């Protein structure tokens, strides 16, 4: 844990966890600085780098995750396999693999870049804003998942038809359809059309 030194006594004491920093970018995705995670999401939001992962099983079913109820942003909603933010100077591909392992306890057996998408999605419940330059990745699941309950409330494997029914009935993240639609061309390549994508 980080320490703070009292200059008058020379003693050290814990300062608490280091703030999580995100990489701020311009409209072209060029890094222009950093910002603390929560402040970057407070309205009107600051454009920052993010990633979204879509993993499929051998039958072409998409692995969805339901975000844990305790998360401060978009709790309890369904979303793509994994999403998050690279650390400053961390390559998005590395961050995508890292967070998939941290959240779901598994690693992709294949992961392919699927382009980028830029969006601005306010979360109507929390009032936070997803102002993101998002790097997309599509791949195949490597092993059974073992989700971290602090991050993931539930998982589901769905075909495109099953997803349409679930999306009509259940709450999903504000960004889900934007990133899914942007990733579809690569999804069709990776799945070979299985699962109805």
Asked if 132 is an active-site residue, the reply is: yes
Q: Measured between alpha carbons, how far is 9 from 164 in angstroms, rounded to an integer?
A: 63
Distances (CA, A) of 72 to 37, 44, 116, 119, 181: 12, 17, 25, 20, 26
Of 13, 23, 59, 83, the catalytic one is 83
Of 132, 150, 151, 161, the catalytic one is 132
Q: Does 130 count as an annotated binding residue?
A: yes
Provide the b/e sequence for 54-74 (b: ≥16 CB within 10 Å). Answer: bbbeeebbbbbbbbbeeeebb
Q: What is the largest CA-CA distance in the chain?
A: 68
Q: Does 132 count as an annotated binding residue?
A: yes
Q: Measured between alpha carbons, how far is 39 from 9 in angstroms, rounded to an integer?
A: 34
End-to-end Cα spacing for the chain? 46
Q: Does 85 count as an annotated binding residue?
A: yes
Q: Does 48 count as an annotated binding residue?
A: yes
Q: Which residues are annotated as a binding site for Mn(2+)?
A: 41, 48, 85, 130, 132
Q: Which residues are annotated as a binding site for Mg(2+)?
A: 103
Which of the residues are catalytic?
83, 132
């Amino acid at each position: 844990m980080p320490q703070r030194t009292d200059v008058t006594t020379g003693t050290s004491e814990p300062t608490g966890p280091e703030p999580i920093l995100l990489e701020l970018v311009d409209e072209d995705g060029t890094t222009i600085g950093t910002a603390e995670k929560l402040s970057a999401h407070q309205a009107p939001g600051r454009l920052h780098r993010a990633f979204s992962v879509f993993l499929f099983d051998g039958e072409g079913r998409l692995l969805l995750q339901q975000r844990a109820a305790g998360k401060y942003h978009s709790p309890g909603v369904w979303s793509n396999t994994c999403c998050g933010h690279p650390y400053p100077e961390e390559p998005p591909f590395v961050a995508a693999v890292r967070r998939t392992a941290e959240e779901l306890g598994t690693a992709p057996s294949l992961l392919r870049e699927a382009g980028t998408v830029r969006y601005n999605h306010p979360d109507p419940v929390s009032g936070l804003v997803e102002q993101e330059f998002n790097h997309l990745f599509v791949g195949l699941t490597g092993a059974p998942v073992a989700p971290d309950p602090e991050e993931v409330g539930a998982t589901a494997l769905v075909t495109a038809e099953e997803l349409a029914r679930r999306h009509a009935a259940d709450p999903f993240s504000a960004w889900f359809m934007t990133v899914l639609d942007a990733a579809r061309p690569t999804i069709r390549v990776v799945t070979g059309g299985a699962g109805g994508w």
